[in-house]
Structure 1
Amino acid sequence: MKKDPQFDLPIARLSLKTHQFAFELGRAFFEQFDPTGEFIADGDLHADVELIKTERVITINSHITGTVRLTCDRSLDEYDHPLDIENKLLVRYSDEAKELDDDVLQVTPDTLELNIAQHLYDYIGLALPMKKLHPRFQNEADDDPDATTKLIFSTRPLGEGPDDDEPADPRWAALKNLN
């Protein structure tokens, strides 16, 4: 991925206080990470980033709102999916630059800028639903809140199953007695 300087936060030049940044995330942003558009085809998002700088730690709070263009898993129709995401990233100073956790980074004291484009993209990707359904199919998925999946086909008649008192095949009963 080519590093986009638009998403660089100049952490070395910032004073010890709270700073505000705003970013528009559209098609060009998503094409940096996924040129084919298989994961996220397009989006119209706004990211408000609050950077709180202290002597030892930088706290970056991000709030991303808007919609992303997704492809329905069932009908392959594209639709706009609304997002409202809030995340916190902690950046601390150390002798070695590395990522300690998903939400904790270490940077060296001589680091001039911190590019947050990858973090914003990851926050958006993690907020997407596992099962992408067009809104017209949402009512079908919400009919039975207790059911995680619906049984479409079964080779057993209803009422027969592994929990029945008698096994389906008497040979299995003989094998149970071998213990």
Structure 2
Amino acid sequence: MSKLEFNIVEIPEGESRRTVDLPDEALDLAPYEFKGGHIDLKFYRTLHFIRVNFHLDADVELVCDRSLEEYTQPIASDYEVLFKVDVQEETENEDGAVRRFNFSSNTLSIEEEVRDTVLLNIPIKKLHPKFIDEDGAPKEFEIKKFGDIRDESESDNIDPRWEKLKKLKN
């Protein structure tokens, strides 16, 4: 049984809280690497539904798009999952999800929601923190020039074929 799977009978009636530590192997985020974290859970159980609110603090190992260096990206996010018995169609959005609840299974799992929450909080542009300024904006990177670079104005040895093409253009 996963750390993110809970027995229904162990969840008390009304409101309750739990904290779960997530080891490195808790989530499969391929191609990214999960580096552990913890999740604060708040359950609210009635006869007809169970609401699970969670706050996730975790780290993910990423590769910088600019330098190809590995770095650790902290992830912090909140999400809510509502498990109901009489749901005809499961729904979800950026704030929460409504899932069908089957009492015969005797367990509920939020592993998929936690994994999706982590994946949705991974930035599209992965920049190492050394490339981000104190305001959170990407720093300009310097442009280096190698070798002798001719100016466009130096036209002393231009291929005559290019000259003829330029004349055709005009």
Q: Residues 8-157 of structure 1 correspond to what in structure 2 (within 5 A)?
A: 8-30=5-27, 33-34=28-29, 37-38=30-31, 40-94=32-86, 99-102=90-93, 103-139=97-133, 142=137
Instruction: Give the aligned length.
Output: 135
Q: What TM-score comes out, normalization by structure 2 length?
A: 0.68
The answer on whether the counterparts of 2:8 and 2:107 sit within 8 Å (CA) in structure 1 is yes
Percent identity, aligned pairs only, is 24
8 Å CA contact 2:3–2:22 kept in 1: the answer is no
In 2, the alpha carbon distance for the partners of 1:87 and 1:15 equals 21
Asked if the contact 1:95/1:109 (under 8 Å) is kept, the reply is: no
Shift of 1:16: 1.7
Q: CA RMSD in A?
A: 2.5
Q: TM-score, normalised by structure 1?
A: 0.65
Q: CA deviation at 1:9?
A: 1.2
Larger Rg: 2
Give 5+ residue unaligned stretches, structure 2: 140-170
Any stretches of 5+ residues in structure 1 without a counterpart? 145-179
Contact 1:18–1:53 under 8 Å retained in 2: yes
- For the 8 Å contact 1:23–1:46, the answer to whether it is kept is yes
